[in-house]
Structure 1
Amino acid sequence: MKLRDSSSSGRRRLAAVAAGVVVALGLAACSGGAGATGSGSGQAGAAQGDVDKDAVLKAGISYDLGGGFDPMTTTGAVTVAANWHVMEGLTEIDPATREVYAALGADLPKQVDDTHYEVTLRDGAVFHNGDPVTTDDVVYSFERVLDPKNESLYADFIDFVDSVKAVDDSTVSITTKYPFTLVAERLATVKIVPRSVVESDYDAFNALPAGTGPYQLTAATPGDKITFDRFDDYTGPRPAQAAGMQWDLLSDPAARVTAQSSGTVQAIEDVPYIDIPTLEGASSVESVQSFGLLFMMFNTDEKPFDDPRVRQAFFYALDMDKIIATGMLGNAEAATSFLPANHPNYHEASTVYSHDPEKAKQLLADAGVENLSIDLTTTDTAWVGDVAPLIKEDLEAIGVKTRLDVGQSAGQYAKVDDGGFDVMVAPGDPSVFGNDPDLLMRWWYGDNVWSKSRYRWNDDPEFAELQKLLDQAVQASGDEQQELWNQAFDLISDQVPLYPLFHRKLPTAWNGEQLAGFKPLPVTGLSFLDVGSTAS
């Protein structure tokens, strides 16, 4: 994705947006964990057994509500997850399986030639206000995302699109700037909105949007809850299995655990690792491997971090087995590549870092580095706080004097964007937006705020080589495409301007006796698509 930051204001905006996503997604954040268990392939009736269609599903959500629901701008964990149930794109990516399926489109995009696709809308699709979905709404939805004046983050996910035009009342034509093999996956990042509603009362739409999904938002109160009703005129592949939903916003971990233990809610996300044994007796609990990672990032404009040997030394210094066992209670997988091992495009990188303090010391010596002293910038995310002291301990064991600089994400990224850091350790997960390697790599390694204003590696010859590989890969397919991605994985594993330390597991708890069809996710959030409450 090529971020539009040609002006200083654009650069500041992108920095703010990216930092906001870091805060909201535990990034908080799209992917993860392809291969995670889950049924939702986009087929109706995935809920198992009899369900009570009059029930209200109740959940405990770990993030508070911040900002609106407009799918062109929102990046918050809560709003993005809510929109899975309320909004639809021509295609969608299942939150559990990470598979693409036809949503507002009757079928997946039909390829006409190398740069031309057509999508026919499904019959009878209507918005929550009763208006029929038109091809004009589809064209408008794409154009508002692509318009630079709207400063939509999602424009960068579809910058391969040259035009979207209505062919007739039911079909749209999509022309790409060049051959691009991930069209079906990327169309899911644009949700179709009713033009008349957005243009007539944007504030009302942003607060409670009219979508085409199986549920309709009825209320959203920060610090309290979000409520949904079943949309009875839904015509898509995943009809609501309950009368409604209530999401209690419980940012306090103890409150979520109590709500689940007491039966106040039927499912909670982001179970604290230490509370997993407590909940296992009364609830189903599963930690699903995700793409979500903890990365280490260097200011490559600053010596000695312009030398890849120094960056490599920091990775060899770390005892990841100890860090994961002690700091994460085993709920992570040490990185052996940019992707986790369960991702369908996984390739073990040419350089895999193991705990080798002597090699780390030798790399520093080879680079002429002595008596190195650093500030290790970290966010105040709870689980990051558990591992940061262990990282400090391992770095000091190879002679790197380390001072921890812990703070809220927004403030820490403000310092980073001003160049005021040495090394940063922070969480990240763009997999909520998509699962393909191109999207996941370009989030951090594209020609954008990360490479320009954060780790500042965009003027390195190896960066240019990486862009070439990524550009070639999206125009290739099959084994050729995978080989190009493999070369990219190898390059970043060797250069490590920013690179994962581990990919974490996401723990979810739910009442397996009350919820039919529920699956824990490899991304932030809870999905109740195809989920029902068992009949009493």
Structure 2
Amino acid sequence: MSKTLANLPLVKDASRRNFLKLTGAVGAAAAFTTTLAACGSSSSTAPSANNSGEVNKDLTIEAGISYSLSTGFDPMSSSGATPLAANLHIFEGLVELHPATREPYNALAAADPKKVSDTSYTVTLRDGATFHDGTPVTAEDVVYSFERVLDPANKALFAQFIFFIKSVKATDAKTVEFTLNQPFAGFGPRISVVKIVPKAIASKDQAAFDAKPIGTGPYKFVSAAKDDKIVFERFDAYNGPKPALAKGMTWFLLNDAAARVTAVQSGRVQAIEDVPYLDVDSLKSKVNVESKQSFGLLFLAFNCTKAPFNKKEVRQALHFALDTDAIIKTALLGNAAAAKSFFPEGHSAYQEASTVYNFDADKAKKLLADAGVSNLSLTLTTTDTAWVKDVAPLIKKYWDSIGVNTTLESLASAAVYAPEKVGGLKYDVLAAPGDPSVFGNDADILLSWWYRGDVWAKNRFGWNTTPEYAKVTAAMDAATKGTEAEAKAEYKKVIDIIAEEAPLYPIFHRKLPTAWDAKKLKDFQALPTTGVSFVGVGRTS
């Protein structure tokens, strides 16, 4: 265990260990390594992953990225898979989670967050920390970074993750005091979702900052082109715990799966994410390939403001109509697990839902009939991600087979979530990937992404005015305050309600295959989340 990690709150003494035990159930992201071990399903058969060579810091790292740039980089609003991965290298929080292990460590914080009371913490900044433009990081920057996320006017995606924070204030140039609305067990790991930005720059021109971000992380942003590449360079003044080990990085945005495979085979890049399942075996003889069972899922979301999708029986019918195991076998070559709960089996919060959508075409037809729905026609909107495009025709096939006339609509992510489509509740049914585990793997974060706040429940699937939604949010709040047993009981309520109501619910949780050249990269690890990380990774040749 690193010195930094060992010094984190809750690691050193018996009371802290008990606290970690509790937060494993109610929300500490540190429980993630246990989850991985329980999930298993991680296969690696390739050239040896051990690289004992010396890192050459004058070399650059090249990578093949699956997703294009669907948003900018401002960490208050960025939600695309690619900018989120980039931001792990550009920005820091006070506390960070290691991208591969999900273990927390102090980043901009000089020491562990100090618990003053159940509803008060203080954090001190590390000495000498500067932004990429050379200006020092101050407590006012930290206050601004949190306040702009909490400000309802900004409609920040991450506000629902820090709902327990009442106020943030600077007590001196390097110390910040947090006052909470309620006790929150996983305070230290959770504040990692807010990245610290320079107040003077971000507040002056947010659009410019979104396009050209400035953080404190080990790599500086150089440039980005939407469908081409992102370029980084080492931040030589970085003095934190995870310095850059390469001169720079170039991430090629290769949405085409064949192009990514060719890039890693030819040596143009040293690593690629999202290896096509058909290419896993053929790549294993040339580079390392590892598949990690993830929370990452394909979900169905319904426009609950539009008939007949406002009826749960219709939503249920469309789930029961799918032979998910056959879809997984055909489109993903077995690299996923059918959902029996909101959480995948092996997750610390997993409990089987009272409603499990096993394939039952007759039941699907009866549910539609009971709802008074016949001759249903719908448009299934999907993102244009390669593996989603493989799944979508199979969904159509099963729905067509029960008499539902299904039209497929495949769009880029930015177009899917635009006000003209899902963002404006102007759609029928959405099938899309999601993976909020990039922010942490605790139950509250994973649920909060879709079921807390307005972004999804109000603005994207229109379920926020229902009594069931109120029950879900009440149970989620109760879970963050209760004992381990109480939290488990509250999460079971949530799991059962969202499974039965299915306004947004997973079809399956998939495995994430990553490929890399271990002869050229040292200490690279495949991630159990979307994206790649080169934090602590160097090139040897």
**Cα distance in 2, alignment partners of residues 363 and 72 from structure 1:** 42
**Cα distance in 2, alignment partners of residues 464 and 404 from structure 1:** 33
Listed one character per residue, the Cα deviations across residues 145-200 of structure 1 (whole Å, up to 9, x for unaligned) are 33344443333332322111122333211011222233223311221123344457
* Residue 242 in structure 1 maps to residue 246 in structure 2: yes
**Match of residue 464 from structure 1:** 470
**Cα distance in 1, alignment partners of residues 243 and 453 from structure 2:** 40
1:342-353 pair list within 5 angstroms: 342-353=346-357
Listed one character per residue, the Cα deviations across residues 436-472 of structure 1 (whole Å, up to 9, x for unaligned) are 3223223222342433344332232222211211121
* Residue 398 in structure 1 maps to residue 402 in structure 2: yes
Report % sequence identity. Answer: 55
**Match of residue 10 from structure 1:** none
Change (3 A) 1:357 1:203: closer
**Cα distance in 2, alignment partners of residues 363 and 31 from structure 1:** 42
1:72-471 pair list within 5 angstroms: 72-198=76-202, 205-413=209-417, 414-416=420-422, 419-471=425-477
Question: RMSD of the alignment, in Å?
Answer: 3.0
Q: Taking structure 1 as the reference length, what is the TM-score of the superposition? A: 0.84
Q: Secondary structure at the match of 2:476?
A: helix
User: Which range moved further: 465-474 or 291-300?
Assistant: 291-300
Change (3 A) 1:457 1:76: closer
Whichever residue aligns with residue 59 of structure 2, its letter is A
Whichever residue aligns with residue 328 of structure 2, its letter is I
CA contact (8 A) 1:333 1:503 kept: yes
Listed one character per residue, the Cα deviations across residues 323-381 of structure 1 (whole Å, up to 9, x for unaligned) are 00111222221111111223332222222221222333344444454444444333333
Listed one character per residue, the Cα deviations across residues 364-404 of structure 1 (whole Å, up to 9, x for unaligned) are 44445444444433333332222222222222333434343
Whichever residue aligns with residue 474 of structure 1, its letter is T
Whichever residue aligns with residue 180 of structure 2, its letter is T
Q: Secondary structure at the match of 2:481?
A: coil
Q: Secondary structure at the match of 1:452?
A: coil
Q: CA deviation at 1:527?
A: 0.3
**Match of residue 504 from structure 1:** 510
User: Which range moved further: 83-92 or 118-127?
Assistant: 118-127
**Cα distance in 1, alignment partners of residues 274 and 266 from structure 2:** 17
1:8-47 pair list within 5 angstroms: 35-36=35-36
**Cα distance in 1, alignment partners of residues 414 and 70 from structure 2:** 14
Change (3 A) 1:379 1:56: closer
**Cα distance in 2, alignment partners of residues 378 and 453 from structure 1:** 17
CA contact (8 A) 2:32 2:442 kept: no
Q: CA deviation at 1:56?
A: 1.7
Q: Taking structure 2 as the reference length, what is the TM-score of the superposition? A: 0.83
Listed one character per residue, the Cα deviations across residues 232-254 of structure 1 (whole Å, up to 9, x for unaligned) are 33222222222332223333333
Q: Secondary structure at the match of 1:233?
A: coil
CA contact (8 A) 1:266 1:515 kept: yes
Whichever residue aligns with residue 175 of structure 1, its letter is T
**Match of residue 532 from structure 1:** 538
Change (3 A) 1:169 1:47: farther
**Cα distance in 2, alignment partners of residues 381 and 362 from structure 1:** 33
Structure possessing the higher relative contact order (Cα contacts under 8 Å, 6 or more residues apart): 1
User: Which range moved further: 367-376 or 507-516?
Assistant: 367-376
**Match of residue 43 from structure 1:** none
**Cα distance in 2, alignment partners of residues 87 and 175 from structure 1:** 24
Whichever residue aligns with residue 487 of structure 1, its letter is K
Q: CA deviation at 1:49?
A: 5.6
